[in-house]
Structure 1
C-alpha cells in the first residue's frame, strides 16, 4: 500500500463495517429498543496468565485484553465516542510504581497493532521466512526470546476502528445513527483527532491501572511515529504528563520527505535525495550494482554525501542543468542504483519509490519490495511504470493475521463472535494539522509534526528520543528520518537527547531475526538508561 497520495492509499485499506445488533423482537412491546452499540459503551476485559523466556530469563506475567471507552470534549464530554481495544502485559511480582510501561502501536493510519504484537515485543512471536514468501498455514507461534517484558510492561493499542476497536454510534434511528457515525469519523480520523484519542486512552489507562507514577514510554512504528510526535506534545503540554522516552521505528514526521509519489509535488526534490541511499542499499543486497562494494555501511556513507551534495545541487538547478552535467549525474546514479543510464536520463534524474521497485529487477519480470526491499515477487505488469503491490506485505501478512486471530481467542480469551479488522474503515483522513503555537486554521498543506516533537522536547528538556530504522525500508527511508531529526527546531543543547540505530532490515525491522535481537537489546538498554529508577 503506497503512502501518497493519501486518498489513494486509504482507498486500498481493507474495508469492513460495524455489526449492528437489532433489538430482541420478543420484547419489542415490553421495553424500548436497545441502542445498537450499547455493548461498546462499557469497558470489557479478559485476564489470563503466562510466562515468557527472554534471552534465557523467565518472566511471569498477567495479560489483560480489553477495551477502554473514550469520550468527546467540550459539550460532548459525556458522549462515548470510541471503544479502544488493547492488550496489556504486566510482569508479576514487581513494584508497579517503579516498573516502566511502554505504549505500543502501529501506523497506517488506521492499522491494528498486530505487527508489533506478533512480530516484535509480545510474549509470543509468529515465525516467517526471512526474505521470501512464508508458506501457508499452519503457522508457528513460538516463545519470543526478544519480548520487551524484561525491560517494561507493554500495552499494545489498536487504532480507532481497527482490530477490536470501534467507533460508537448510540442512536437507534438508522438515519441519526449514520449521521452520528459520520461525525465520529470526522472527529477521530485525522492527525489531530487520532492524536487526542491516543492521549486520552493513555491517561485513562494510567488511572485504571495506577500507573501515573511509572516511567512512561511511547513506541510507534511508521505512521505511529507521526502519531507519537503529536501525542508526546499533547501529553506534555495539555495533560502535564512528562514522558521518559519516545521510541520511533521507521519514522516519518514530514510527509514532504516521502519517496512515495514525489512526482505529484514538483519542485520539492528532497525525497529523491533522501531515498537514494535506500536505493543503493537495495541494489547492493540484490547484487545489481556495476561494481559490488566490499561492505554496506561505508558505501552508504559515500552515497549519503553524494545525495546531499552534487545530486542535490543538480536537482536544484532544474532546467538550468546542462546536458553534460546531467549525463555525469546519471552515470553516477547508475553506479549507486544499478538502474540504466538511459532510464535515469528519461526520468530526468528523479526516480520515485514505485518506479525503483518496478525497474531494479525488471529484466527478470520481478518487482522489488517496498516495506522491505530484500523481498521480491513476480511483477503484476512488466510493462508498467510503478510496482502494483508489495512483495513483502504479501509474503508475511497472512501469517501475522492468522496467528493473532488464533492467539487472541484461544489464549487471551477475547474476541469470540467479533471480527478483527486489520485496518479501520476510513473514507477520508484529515491530514491537516495545527502545529503548536499556530493560531486560527491549520496552515500545513502536507502533514509535518516536527514542530510537535520539538515542542515536547523544549518544554521537557529531559525527554529522550530514540530513532530506529532499516536500511532496506523504502516506505520510510532511514536517511529521511536522519534528515528530519537533524532539522528539528530545537536548540543545539537538545541534539544529544536524540539517539539513532540502523539495521540491515526493512520497515518492519523485527521481521529479520538478527535485527529483532539488536532492536530488543537497544530498546531495553534505552529504557534502563532513562527510567530514572535506581539500579
Structure 2
C-alpha cells in the first residue's frame, strides 16, 4: 500500500497491556497506538497518530495526564518519547555520546510514567500522521495533475502556526472526551519549537478549548524568534549566546579560569554578567565607544569563550553559532555540535572557507531514533501500517508558514506574550523551562533573559521556574541530567497538583 495521505485503510489501532519495572515497584499500563480523526466543518480532514500510556490505577481521573510533542516544525514526538519520557528509551553514552550501531532500546527507569500518564502526539505530516483527501479537493488535484502542475502535499494546510495549534487543541479535547479524562490534572510538554507551541497553548487551550492546565513544561524552547538571529541592529541575540559559548569553551578546556578553581557555574555566571553589562552596551554604543573600551571588552570576551581576540575584534563582538562551532577547536581540525557543543566531529574540509560537513549532533541522531521508534511501534506495540514514520520531515520545515497576526505581518514571531496571558488567566498553572548548557541553537540564557523581562505579578512569579542542565538541546541523553531532571519534575508535578 502506498505511503500517501489518502490511504487510511491500513491504519489499525493497537492496544496492548505492558509493564514497566522500576526496581522497587512495577507499573502496569495500557499502551494505545492509534490515529485520531480531526474535523473541519464536521468533515474528516486528517488523522493524527499518537501513543498514549495510561497506568492501571483505581481512580484514573485523579492521575496527572501529560500531552507531549516535539518541534521542528516537522519533528515527530519520538525524541521525547524514546529519549526521556516514555517507558523505553534509546541507549546513549553516559555523557550523551552517540552509541555505535546497532541501535539499543532499553527499559527507561527514569520514565515519567512513574508519576503521570503520557500521550505522545505527532503533528500532521510527522510520524504516521497524515491529512485526508476531500472530495472537492480531489477534483482540483486531478486537474492539476492533468495540467502538469506539481501537486503539493495535502498536509501543507496544517503547516502554519495557527492551524497547527488548532489541530493540537482539537486533538487534546477529543482525547479527553474519548478517555473520560476531562477532570484529570492536565499538563503539556514540548521541546524546541514544541516549547513555542506549549507557550502559545498555555493561553489558547484555556480561551478556545476550555482546557485548564495544572502545568506547562517548556524544553529547550525557541520562545521569541527575535533571539534566534542577531544582526547589526538586533543586538540581544548576540548576548544571549555568550553564556553557552563560555560553558562549551570551559568543557573543552579552552579558557583560562583558574580563578574560579574549575567551577563551571562561576564561569557561566561571569559570562552572563558580561553579556548583560558589557556586550549589550558595547554593541548598542557602536562607534561612540572608545577604541580602548572596545578592546578591553574584546579581551574579556576572548577569556570567556575561548576564541582568539583577533577574530572577536574583526567581527565586532558578533559571534554566530557557526563561527564558534568551527573556530573553537580549529587547531584540532574538529567542529563542535550546534545542538550539543560538548560533542565534536572531524571537519572533513578544514581548508575551505565555509563548513561543508554535517552537524555531529542532529544528523547523528537520525539513525538512533528512526530505528528505535520503528522497532518500538511495530514490534513492541504491534502497530501494523505500511506508512513510513517521518521522524523529521524537512518538507514540513521548508514549507512552514511563520505568519504573524495583524495587518502588516511584520516583525518576529513570539510566544512569551501568550505565556504571560495564560499565567494571568490561570494563576495556579505552574511553568517549568529547561535547557542544556551546551545548546547553541536555543541557548539557555535566552529564556533566562525573557523570564527576567516578563514583569510577572509578584503573586504568580513563583509559578515560573527556569533551570539548565549539563548537556545540549537534548540534555536528557546525559544520565546525570536525566536523573536530576526526573527528580525535579516529580517535585514540580507534586507542587502543581497539591
Would you say 1:329 and 2:294 are equivalent positions? no
Aligned equivalents of 2:334 and 2:495: distance in 1?
A: 45
Shift of 1:332: 0.5
Query: Which residue pairs with 1:358 in the alignment?
Result: 326
Shift of 1:282: 0.1
Shift of 1:386: 5.1
Shift of 1:192: 1.3
Would you say 1:134 and 2:99 are equivalent positions? yes
- Find 1:429's aligned residue among 400, 404, 423: 400
Can you list the C-alpha shifts for 1:12-41, whole angstroms capped at 9, x where unaligned? xxxxxx8349xxxxxxxxxxxxxx44538x
Shift of 1:407: 1.3
Contact 1:357 1:387 in 2 (8 A): no
Contact 2:49 2:122 in 1 (8 A): yes
Scaled by the length of structure 2, the TM-score of the pair is 0.92
Shift of 1:432: 1.9
Aligned equivalents of 1:494 and 1:386: distance in 2?
A: 46
- Find 1:417's aligned residue among 378, 381, 386: 386
Bigger Cα displacement from structure 2, 320-329 vs 179-188: 179-188
Bigger Cα displacement from structure 2, 443-452 vs 143-152: 443-452
Q: 1:38 to 1:145 in 2, by over 3 A?
A: closer
Query: Which residue pairs with 2:198 in the alignment?
Result: 228
Query: Which residue pairs with 2:283 in the alignment?
Result: 315
Contact 1:44 1:68 in 2 (8 A): no
- Find 2:468's aligned residue among 470, 477, 502: 502
Shift of 1:501: 2.0
- Find 2:142's aligned residue among 172, 175, 196: 175
Query: Which residue pairs with 2:424 in the alignment?
Result: 458
Shift of 1:495: 1.3
Contact 1:169 1:180 in 2 (8 A): no
Question: What residue ranges of structure 2 are gaps of 5+ in the alignment?
Answer: none
Scaled by the length of structure 1, the TM-score of the pair is 0.86
Q: Secondary structure at the match of 1:493?
A: coil
Query: Which residue pairs with 1:150 in the alignment?
Result: 114
1:338-417 pair list within 5 angstroms: 338-382=306-350, 383-385=352-354, 388-417=357-386
Shift of 1:66: 0.5
Shift of 1:134: 2.1
Shift of 1:505: 1.2
Shift of 1:385: 4.1
Contact 2:38 2:48 in 1 (8 A): yes
Contact 1:128 1:396 in 2 (8 A): no
Aligned equivalents of 2:408 and 2:34: distance in 1?
A: 35
Shift of 1:169: 2.0
Would you say 1:287 and 2:287 are equivalent positions? no
Shift of 1:183: 9.0
Can you list the C-alpha shifts for 1:75-102, whole angstroms capped at 9, x where unaligned? xx12322211100001013311101100
Shift of 1:397: 2.7
Aligned equivalents of 2:22 and 2:277: distance in 1?
A: 44
Aligned equivalents of 1:86 and 1:181: distance in 2?
A: 27
- CA-based RMSD: 2.3
Shift of 1:467: 1.1
Aligned equivalents of 2:224 and 2:310: distance in 1?
A: 32
Q: 1:125 to 1:430 in 2, by over 3 A?
A: same
Question: What residue ranges of structure 1 are gaps of 5+ in the alignment?
Answer: 1-17, 22-35, 435-439
Aligned pairs, number: 486
Contact 2:471 2:478 in 1 (8 A): yes
Contact 1:112 1:423 in 2 (8 A): yes
